[in-house]
Amino acid sequence: MQQLWEQLPECFTVLRRRLERDQEGTEGTRQFIAVLLLLKDHPPERLSRAVERALELGIEHPEAIRNLLLCPPEQPPSPLDLSGRAHLAAYGVPQPSLAGYAALAAPGGDA
């Protein structure tokens, strides 16, 4: 066990501390072990990235970390390239009226 612990990145130590601090009794230790058990099915590098991301998001639950492992990495969309489509410049889209939303947001608002 000591060898495994020495090979884990610092994010696992942070996760363990947070889980043990925020959970009653031994529940934090159990949750940390559940995270370590994810190593059976996932490479250490991927689990480390998922743990780091979970710590950034403040979601230190084993199921949340498992979901981060199963979801593809977040990728921002690439900008839409409209070069060579000058004919689209002639189209305009008017701003929508937000009056209906303002009425809903008003006290007692029901549009």
* pLDDT tens-place string over residues 54-71: 999 999 899 999 999 998
Which pTM was predicted?
A: 0.63
Q: How far apart are CA 48 and CA 28, in angstroms?
A: 18
Tokens representing residue 18 in the block: 């947070």
Average pLDDT over residues 28-34: 94
Tokens representing residue 4 in the block: 């495994």
Residue 4 in this model has a pLDDT that exceeds 70: no
Query: Diameter of the chain by CA atoms?
Result: 67
CA distance to 17, 32, 93, per residue, from 41 (Å): 24, 16, 50
* pLDDT tens-place string over residues 91-102: 888 988 888 888
- The pLDDT assigned to 101 comes to 85
Beta-carbon contacts of 35 under 8 Å, excluding residues fewer than 6 positions away, are: 12, 15, 47, 51, 62, 65
Q: Which region among 15-29, 37-51, 91-105 has the lowest average model confidence (pLDDT)?
A: 91-105
High-pLDDT (> 70) share of the chain, %:
93
